Amino acid sequence: MYPDSIKNLAETIARLPSIGKRQALRLIFYLIRNQDVRRQLIQQLNELEKKIKICERCFLPFEGPGQLCHICSNPSRIQNIIAIVEKEIDVFSIEQTNSFKGTYHILSHLIDPSDINSYNTLRLDQLEKRVRRLPQQIADEIIIAISPTTEGDLTAMYLERKLKNLAKKISRIGRGIPTGGEIEFADAETLKNALSNRR
Amino acid sequence: MYPDSIKNLAETIARLPSIGKRQALRLIFYLIRNQDVRRQLIQQLNELEKKIKICERCFLPFEGPGQLCHICSNPSRIQNIIAIVEKEIDVFSIEQTNSFKGTYHILSHLIDPSDINSYNTLRLDQLEKRVRRLPQQIADEIIIAISPTTEGDLTAMYLERKLKNLAKKISRIGRGIPTGGEIEFADAETLKNALSNRR
């Protein structure tokens, strides 16, 4: 019913996370009506294709020379402190705080308990190889910086067990009341964690 | 903070309807991780750019030879019955019913009462020229096939007044209980319209 070029493109766009078939069609008709946005999108996707590389060490996308991102290749970053995060965006969020001087490992996804394959695609082999290449062949600290959701907690437990020989210390980011949040509205679990996490 | 190619692309994607900055970034990181989807997307956007034309008469996007879409160029379609719709998707929805043998005019958007410019970009000049080129220089019927929302009703009222000399008859699509809908759950306005729309 739709012309082929619209139908095929709609199927691809509907494969993207949290975009359905109907929204895909709406996006396409918007692009058809707006030539400038459409051409800019094509041009910028080509730029992305041409320039973006994935860091061999931490899997962060980056631009520029070499095989390592600007964090892994920065001599002032501490290579034997590694923060494990779920996804790329989390690295940029943590970097914005300017309070972490270690390096990262991006899992790319959390464990989905209904998908046994999701245990094997967290790039932990690469993490182990990387740690074994450190001067001491062990990390000082692995910080599990994963959201405290159900799947996040499951993933964290799995990682703690799996990685225990890779680091002198394995920690998790602190749980508590978010800055600006009110104790009155915190759920019991958050409050419990905030109390035991006191300093 | 983000590499330029990611930052620029995110700004363009966030211009698309109902996509925010954060979702744009998530989409981009998904594309970076999934080379096959990314390349398919680029290839299909290029196809769209190359093949899609906009019908000179009704503004429907189409592929193929000539300047008219497959509906406007079809000799068995009735040129002096014109359904006015808001957007491209609506044409395909109506075509799926196989119950309309006239042609279309796509407004591209509804009137936004807070934006005076939105009154002037409904392509009504082109509609008038098209009607004046009909053998009788007037349409038999203009059907206003616009959703019965607040903005849709405003647009319909404006069109009825503005187009009254262009057609022997101006009609609106029927209002009533949707097929499969229950009277119990219909709101009063819908029920009122369904009653007055009885046959």
pLDDT at A199: 61
**Cross-chain Cβ contact A37/B28 below 8 Å:** no
DSSP-derived 3-state class of residue B153: helix
Please state the φ and ψ torsions of residue B38, each to the nearest 5 degrees: -60, -45
Q: What pLDDT is attached to residue A194?
A: 76
Q: With cut-offs at 50, 70 and 90, classify the pLDDT of residue A120.
A: very high
Can you give the pLDDT at residue A85?
95
Q: What are the angstrom distances between the C-alpha of A117 and each of A86, A126, A144, A162?
A: 16, 17, 21, 16
Taking CA–CA distances from A15, the nearest residue in chain B reads B37
Mean pLDDT of A86-110: 92
Contacts of A11 (CB under 8 A, 6+ apart): A21, A24
- The residue-averaged pLDDT of A122-145 equals 96
Q: Report pLDDT digits (tens) over A6-58.
A: 999 999 999 999 999 999 999 999 999 999 999 999 999 999 999 999 999 99
CA distance A137 to chain B (A): 29
Query: Which residue from B17, B32, B42 is facing A61, i.e. has the nearest CB?
Result: B32
Which is higher by pLDDT, A99 or B82?
A: B82
Instruction: Mutate one of B35, B49, B62 to test the A interface: name it (highest A CB count within 10 A).
Output: B49
pLDDT at B199: 61
% of chain A with per-residue pLDDT over 90? 79
- Categorise residue A101: left if φ over 0, alpha if ψ from -120 to 50, beta otherwise: alpha
Answer whether residue A133 shows pLDDT above 70.
yes
Question: Which regions of chain B are under pLDDT 50?
Answer: none
Q: Does B41 touch chain A (CB under 8 A)?
A: yes
Nearest Cα of chain B lies from the Cα of A196 at a distance, in angstroms, of: 33
Q: In the numeric block, which tokens belong to residue A41?
A: 């999108």
CB of B66 within 8 Å of a chain A CB? The answer is no
State whether the Cα torsion B68-B74-B77-B78 is positive or negative.
Answer: positive
Give residue-wise pLDDT tens across range A1-20: 899 999 999 999 999 999 99
Element (H, E) at B41: helix B35-51
A44 with B5: Cβ contact below 8 A: yes
C-alpha–C-alpha distance, residues A21 and A19, integer Å: 7
How high does pLDDT run on average in chain A? 93
Cβ of B63 within 8 Å of Cβ of A12? The answer is no
Position B173 scores a pLDDT of: 87
Going through B28-91 in order, the beta strands assigned E by DSSP cover 53-54, 61-62, 81-85
| ipTM reported for the complex, 2 dp | 0.87
- Minimal Cβ distance to B92: which of A2, A37, A88: A2
Q: How many CB atoms lie within 10 A of CB A2?
A: 18
Q: What does the pLDDT look like over A150-198, one tens digit per residue?
A: 999 999 999 999 999 999 999 988 878 787 778 777 788 887 887 777 7
Q: Which domains does chain A have, with CATH numbers?
A: 4-51 (1.10.8.420), 61-172 (3.40.1360.10)
- B5 to chain A: which residues are within 8 Å by CB? 44, 47-48, 50-52, 63
Q: How many residues are present in chain B?
A: 199
